Chains A and B, each alone.
Chain A
């Protein structure tokens, strides 16, 4: 009798776990549907008003609509809408893994200066025509951005490994990096020609209007490379959140996974920044939304972070076209306006609750 009751209690555990896992799968499904909706609205919405039917026709049967509709949908709106999704996904994934690896809730490419470093690298190419990587003139801008982002990432990585370094120290280091690279960027702006200056300024605001199919494919390739790299370490990355000793006791090679993850983070943060400019806070907010909804089991946290970031930037893209009729605001301005209050609330809640 007692055994039967005990068995019932024990089997309740796996039943509840399965229910929990299904709930998370449904959340992921919900995000996917919301993202599809947001993407559709993003394409249908813009300064030129077309009937939804025309837009859908332009997507599925381009020959059936006028040249103007086809060009607007395929050459302007579609690249912007896709770039919003891919950039949001990449930045949110980068933020999620930075927060995991550094055990730091305030970590993201933007807050720790990696985006600023990438901006400086890209500006170096735009303003000075300097390529950090020799013989790579065709991809000078993204490669410069990546190399600078990599340097910033490695600085953060190695300093965060040192003894006695706290979560707060790493944040302060991040702020120092932001200031440093912004100062270097200002220096380049001062030297820049009028034309180069304009493109640098426009690009520090972060804008999807520069999106092209080529940039989309490159960013997508980075994302497609990064996701399986993290996915195959899903259990190990989750274990790292239990502490280095605990993860090591589970057989996780913590050092190797940390370094590998940070290198991929640098790539994920640098490439979108080099194409669409600085877009802040997506990498911070996306992972937090995911964590609140599905916890930190990476099998759920990873896809949810990606989808949350993609949805966030896609929805922001719609908002950026809706504030003033006929005007598309740089998306970086909108994410900053939404992100800063969120950042504050994280800092304040973090004072009360240890991470």
Chain B
């Protein structure tokens, strides 16, 4: 059983401390954790700090993993680099980092398995430059999975995907988390998807923690008003899934009044 908890985490971006004081309870194997918050709230920065790619105060407490630095893997948002590499090579590359030149049959079997699971076998020998945005995201996911991390930090993995692919990828990640005992953090803007697939949620705004806990307890009408400045209801649909129904964009006063209320 792998667990992770953040203890008073902060992150420097350049010389500026852009994320501060993020403390969470312990998350365990098999859980999906949605990391939500407005644009530029500090979600990517938090992920990079957790993965050890940015410096900062506090500690990331990982227990039950014997993989050391390789326990946590960060999957950045898609970059549009056009290296002259096939999809297969780009996934092999992720697997072989830090090792020798030779490629074992075991490496290739693992890659084949992951590509099949994500259903990208048909684009295996296309060049990266020929892929659509959605296909690139899927390749990124494959690159991350072949590194076999215990904790996966996915930065907006579904942002370039159509609805079908979004559902497919999130359901797949849920399955992977359960089957492999991974903890999957997903930075995501679609709160309905977050409520559907994530067990827990972390809310970040202006670089600090605004809420953490079971998804349905964290994503509330009050949170939507405070953090996203919208008036909305959260109601179950006819099949029982909770849905956000947006009524209106809250006026400019909405935020300040809630801030005043908190301060009081």
Contacts and interface: CB of A to CB of B under 8 A. Distances in A.
Asked if A pairs with B, the answer is yes
A30 interface: no
Contacts of A322: none
A211 B204 CA distance: 65
Contacts of B109: 14
B62 to A, nearest CB: 16
A250 B94 contact: yes
Contacts of A245: 76-77, 79
A18 B99 CA distance: 19
Contacts of A231: 101
Interface in A275-325: 291-292, 295-297, 299
Interface residues of A, number: 38
Nearest to A245: B76
Interface in A184-203: none
A241 B97 contact: no
Contacts of B80: 354
Contact of A10 (B81, B92, B103, B121): B121
B12 to A, nearest CB: 15
Interface stretch (B19-27, B67-75, B219-227, B236-244): B67-75
A239 interface: yes
Given A13-B121, A16-B125, A239-B97, A291 B84 contact: yes
Contacts of A11: 112
Interface centre among B84, B111, B143 (most CB of A within 10 A): B84
Interface in A239-270: 239, 241-243, 245-246, 248-252
A242 B81 contact: yes
B94 A354 contact: no
B113 A10 contact: yes
Contacts of B144: 249
B98 interface: yes
Interface string B90-112: 10111011110101010011011
| Chain A binding surface, main DSSP class | helix
Nearest to A10: B112
Interface centre among B89, B115, B129 (most CB of A within 10 A): B89
Interface residues of B, number: 47
Contact of A248 (B53, B81, B147): B53
A238 interface: yes
A256 to B, nearest CB: 13
Contacts of B53: 248-249
Contacts of B90: 242
A165 interface: no
A296 B83 contact: yes
A130 interface: no
Contacts of A249: 51, 53, 73-76, 144
B60 interface: no
Given A9-B121, A249-B76, A295 B85 contact: yes
Given A241-B81, A295-B127, 15 more contacts: A9-B121, A10-B113, A11-B112, A13-B112, A20-B88, A20-B125, A21-B103, A103-B81, A241-B85, A245-B79, A248-B53, A249-B144, A250-B94, A296-B84, A354-B80
5 smallest CB-CB distances across A and B, nearest first, come from A243-B79, A14-B108, A241-B83, A10-B112, A245-B76
